[in-house]
Amino acid sequence: MMGSRVAAALLRRGRDQASSLMAARLPRGAPAPSPAAPRVRSGSVCGCGGGGGLLTGSRSTGSVFSASRLASFHAFRSIGSKTLMGQCTRKMTTTVAAMNSGVANAAAYSGLKLLVTKGPQAQKAIGIWLFGCATWVFGLVILGGVTRLTRSGLSMTDWKFTGSLPPMSDEEWLLEFEKYKLSPEYKRVNKGMSLGDFKFIYWMEYGHRMWGRALGFLFSVPFAYFIAKGYVTRQLGLRLSGLFALGAGQGLIGWWMVKSGLEEPASEYVQPRVSPYRLATHLTSAFVIYCGILWTALSVVMPEPPAGSMNWVNSAAKIKKLAIPVSAVVGITAISGAFVAGNDAGHAYNTFPKMGDTWIPEDVFAMEPFIRNFFENTSTVQLNHRILATTTLLSVGGLWLAARKVDMHPAIKSLIGSTLGMAALQVTLGISTLLMYVPTSLGSAHQAGALTLLSLMILLTHTLRRPSPALLKSLASAVKST
């Protein structure tokens, strides 16, 4: 009899605490939920990672009633903190506080400004579309690298913005071949090439151009559809319009680059090749388009970064100060690779760690004016790329060590570890490519590795960004309630 009275008293106390807990979380003027209301499970959630998402009211209500049940256990603290139940009740109290934080986060997300309207389905559709476009650009960059490594980029001696059909008959193939025979590359490098070999390099360049034009179709048609459906906000529309314009200009930049390789070299001893400046411009533009699409896709599907506590948020802010300059080093190293390719610097000094018999070649500053050495001198360009690659590996390693010393989201720590592994693999690929005289397979893998490493840094920087003021306020209030 006494036991039943004690149990009844404890349950009443638990319900009273749960009621006060719910009242603190509900907005003013909102009706209090009925004590007899069943637990709701029909709420939908749309989000990514640990922080991004849109939670409906039904999910929040379910969390509150979960807290109500756990609060009943909190009443057992009245028995005494030194009893057998003392430690268990303290853990239960921590669990209730964490669930209270989840309810506060749900309220914060309700006021978040999203890039996509019309709910989670529209958010998912646009996210899939943008990630698909980013993957397409990734493939386009790799195909461009293969086209360059197989010396196929100068096989088409003209260019049309709208494109054209490939040769369909033997007569058309012979006509294209005759055009190529007039180019400096055929006269100095490929003299005596067969029609079959010409068809191979022609198809490589034609495929690269058509892949780029297909990207324009894959981007513009869904973009117009989503605008017509009202899914795209003004901010997202302006951002995507800018990326589309940059993509349209990329075709012009590509032809501007190819045209430089169709001109007669200044010396008869120099092989015809495209301008390293124009090649770097073409590659940099592709990287900007890729990074812009990837960042926008992440912003659509993950509107908030992972933020489980204020301590994690503060630690992420510290790591972000290091991640931004590391990202810049990764990007600069990738662009320096374009000058290595543009000067065929990978075919010189195929030794490591020394460059030939010395650490630093004697002709690193042989050109005038001095600045030309960093972009046109084969020795300096390769030395510069070696130094930047080493700096990248050490910088990512330092970022990894710094992340180990702070308390932050486990997913972010894992991402930093993956980035370090990718940086080490990329350096290994670079050394192997150099020692084996730049085979097409390793050269392509090295370029793919550069873009993969850059992708990881983009993802890391995105997850380290500062949460919205509404989420920060909710996390602060959750800390005070504990």
Q: For every residue of 119-180, which 3-state class applies, written as one string? A: CHHHHHHHHHHHHHHHHHHHHHHHHHHHHHHCCCCCCCCCCCCCCCCCCCCHHHHHHHHHHH
338 plus 288 within the same structural domain: no
Task: Determine contact, residues 443/433, Cβ cutoff 8 Å.
Answer: yes
Q: What's the half-sphere exposure (Cβ side, CA atoms, 13 Å) at 305?
A: 28
Amino acid 365 reads: F
Mean per-residue pLDDT, 183-211: 94
Q: pLDDT: is 269 or 66 the higher one?
A: 269
Q: pLDDT: is 193 or 71 the higher one?
A: 193
Residues in the chain: 482
269 plus 317 within the same structural domain: no
Query: Which residues contact residue 130 at a Cβ distance below 8 angstroms, ignoring those fewer than 6 apart?
Result: 293, 296, 297, 300
Backbone angles phi, psi at 232, to 5 degrees: -95, 130
Domain boundary among 270, 303, 336: 303
Alpha carbon 355 to chain centroid distance?
34
Domain-embedded: residue 85: no
The verdict on whether omega for the bond into residue 369 sits within 30 degrees of 0, i.e. cis, is: yes
- Banded pLDDT at 200 (limits 50, 70, 90): very high
Q: pLDDT tens, 44-63?
A: 333 334 334 333 333 333 33
Task: Determine contact, residues 164/156, Cβ cutoff 8 Å.
Answer: no
Q: Domain range spanning residue 250? A: 112-303
- C-alpha torsion angle, residues 110, 111, 116, 119 (rounded to 10): 20
182 plus 118 within the same structural domain: yes
Total domains in the chain come to 2
Backbone angles phi, psi at 247, to 5 degrees: -65, -40
Within 10 Å of residue 278's Cβ, how many Cβ atoms?
Answer: 19
Q: pLDDT tens, 261-289?
A: 998 887 766 788 899 999 999 999 999 99
Domain boundary among 247, 268, 303: 303
Task: Determine contact, residues 349/356, Cβ cutoff 8 Å.
Answer: yes
Amino acid 331 reads: G
330 plus 293 within the same structural domain: no
331 plus 347 within the same structural domain: yes
Give dist(CA 184, CA 172) in Å, integer. Answer: 21
Amino acid 108 reads: A
Q: pLDDT tens, 118-175?
A: 889 999 999 999 999 999 999 999 999 999 999 999 999 988 877 788 999 999 999 9
Task: Determine contact, residues 252/320, Cβ cutoff 8 Å.
Answer: no
251 plus 344 within the same structural domain: no
Give dist(CA 333, CA 426) in Å, integer. Answer: 11
Domain-embedded: residue 170: yes
Q: pLDDT tens, 424-456?
A: 999 999 999 999 999 999 999 999 999 999 999
Task: Determine contact, residues 243/289, Cβ cutoff 8 Å.
Answer: yes
For residue 463, which of 327, 287, 289, 288 has the smallest C-alpha distance?
A: 327
268 plus 369 within the same structural domain: no
Overall pTM > 0.85: no
Q: pLDDT: is 210 or 311 the higher one?
A: 210
Within 10 Å of residue 310's Cβ, how many Cβ atoms?
Answer: 14
The structure tokens listed for 145 are: 């690298």
Give dist(CA 140, CA 146) in Å, integer. Answer: 10
Task: Determine contact, residues 326/332, Cβ cutoff 8 Å.
Answer: no
Domain boundary among 284, 303, 322: 303
357 plus 393 within the same structural domain: yes
116 plus 219 within the same structural domain: yes
Beta strands in 301-434 (DSSP E): none
Give dist(CA 408, CA 417) in Å, integer. Answer: 13
